[in-house]
Structure 1
């Protein structure tokens, strides 16, 4: 049955009726959710399916406002976080209710940026089953300590990651987690779709063996930590999730929860902030690069930052 959905579309020509839909799981993302939706709408996303998992910071209300401007469906889910299960549900909603030709299963802190001057859809075809896209962490500099800082002003991302082992991620006192290698993300054709991994790093598709590929003209920029306030709130939430026996979470989050419980989380945050002399060294060796995204990502004022 899954093959019958995909095969008729295999040689279909692209048209203006094709729709790229983005699904997002979010909880308390008031500092970034509007920028995420506005930016991707400009870059070729035609509609959004957003699941809100019990936000209390104004995120849910902001989504209601955005519904008046964008083709945006909001789903409320108050249950215990189940990323893979919920993403699969959103995939089918994107296909069946929003008419998706392709689906990006996104997180609120990730921005899918195509090659300059192009739309995301320009780099997709109906024959695509699973398209894998490289992802890079965006770094904090001393600007984050300023009162008027907005995450879109971040200048640098990791170009070549540092390969820490898992034990270092959990226990290393000098581990710089922003520099660790992170998994890519995928864009999926919902016709023939079978399953998506919890973090949207991989997907199963009926035609994956034959038509899966990598796309180098799109890069995902990941903004995992955007301020001290946001970081602290995130780790408090992770602490709550770890109370559930079956909770699945990266080792670095477990380490940060432990530091929070020891009253040492602020010191960890301060270690993330790159000093000017550190930036010069990392640039010299090509480990980081200037991403020039402050003219691409929408700011709080709903205008591009120039």
Structure 2
């Protein structure tokens, strides 16, 4: 796996413990200017060789560039069959067994699979995030919301991989996508406290690569931190109402897994997915795939517009050349 972090001390140790216990072989981490203790936590996990540390101290977050570098490093220096780019607030959950089981099942003609984001909402308190945040929201198509529908990619290890901003797409040799199969869920905890909310978005000021980030930065610039917080938080009354409506879903899988890991150093067996769980996944996947189709259509339109512009430019040049040739021919006749 690969990871870009900055000041994630509240979650990065838990993230590493969970994914290493899941059987991840190596985690390559780029630490971008952390000063809150994140770097110390990373170094504590590094001695056994399963965590490889890189450091970046520049002002600008170059997320896609760094993830691409790590993905190639994983393939060329660590022999990774598969690479999973992740953020520290994303916990990858295989739908059926281990990481190895899920990825071994991918036919060789495909090189990319995706994880469906499941968005856990902010519940305040002093307990660790995974004890408090056991409710997730149905994804929305509204890109200005931090809980909007998203997918993340995992790809075969190749030396020419180019990972897109946000880890939503990748290009490279043989990296053909399995589009409508989600062997992973990505349990996402994007906002975990009032202070972390503000820090999260301010860190992205040098790379505002999403509508929800642009909107959040605008609210913070206007001094409307409380507005941003109120949109993210779910209080007891709202919780009861939205659970009844079905717009929130209780989900304690990560909490129970981490409790078991803390108890005896091993992850407990995953609960067997039920038909209801499959229907629940399908409901969220429908929103994500509709959004994905819109994005794909938008990209294709942009590609078509560029192609038309190129053809028009060539036609214009050809027309000018033809006129010049006719003029030259006329001069020669005279």
Q: Is TM (by shorter chain) over 0.5?
A: yes
Residues 1:40 and 2:19 aligned together: yes
**Counterpart for residue 163 of structure 2:** 196
Secondary structure at 1:188's aligned position in 2?
A: strand
Unmatched segments (≥5 aa) in structure 2:
269-334
**Counterpart for residue 29 of structure 1:** 8
Aligned length: 261
Alignment of 1:256-275 (within 5 A): 256-275=216-235
Q: Is the 8 A contact 2:191 2:232 kept in 1?
A: no
**Counterpart for residue 180 of structure 1:** 148
**Counterpart for residue 115 of structure 1:** 95
1:206 aligned to which of 170, 173, 191: 173
Alignment of 1:1-306 (within 5 A): 22-69=1-48, 71-79=50-58, 80-115=60-95, 118-125=97-104, 127=108, 128-141=110-123, 144=124, 146=125, 148-153=126-131, 154-158=133-137, 160-164=138-142, 169=144, 177-181=145-149, 183-191=150-158, 193-209=160-176, 212-239=178-205, 241=206, 247-292=207-252, 293-297=254-258
Relative distance call for 1:107 and 1:250 in structure 2 (3 A) is same
Deviations for 1:206-244, whole angstroms, at most 9, x for unmatched residues? 3344x63544342001111111121122233234x2xxx
| Greater gyration radius | 2
Q: Is the 8 A contact 2:113 2:183 kept in 1?
A: no
Q: Is the 8 A contact 1:133 1:214 kept in 2?
A: no
Deviations for 1:30-81, whole angstroms, at most 9, x for unmatched residues? 1111111110111121111001111111111211111125511101112221
Q: Is the 8 A contact 1:129 1:205 kept in 2?
A: no
Secondary structure at 2:223's aligned position in 1?
A: coil
The higher relative CO (CA closer than 8 Å, separation ≥ 6) is in 1
In 1, the alpha carbon distance for the partners of 2:14 and 2:200 equals 19
Secondary structure at 2:18's aligned position in 1?
A: helix
Q: TM-score under structure 1 normalisation?
A: 0.77
Relative distance call for 1:179 and 1:284 in structure 2 (3 A) is farther
Q: TM-score under structure 2 normalisation?
A: 0.71
In 2, the alpha carbon distance for the partners of 1:255 and 1:231 equals 13
Relative distance call for 1:42 and 1:224 in structure 2 (3 A) is same
Relative distance call for 1:224 and 1:266 in structure 2 (3 A) is same
Secondary structure at 1:226's aligned position in 2?
A: coil
Cα RMSD over matched residues? 2.6
Relative distance call for 1:71 and 1:259 in structure 2 (3 A) is same
Deviations for 1:163-200, whole angstroms, at most 9, x for unmatched residues? 33x6xx3xxxxxxx24432x200110013753211111
Unmatched segments (≥5 aa) in structure 1:
1-21, 170-176, 242-246
Relative distance call for 1:194 and 1:95 in structure 2 (3 A) is closer
Relative distance call for 1:260 and 1:32 in structure 2 (3 A) is same
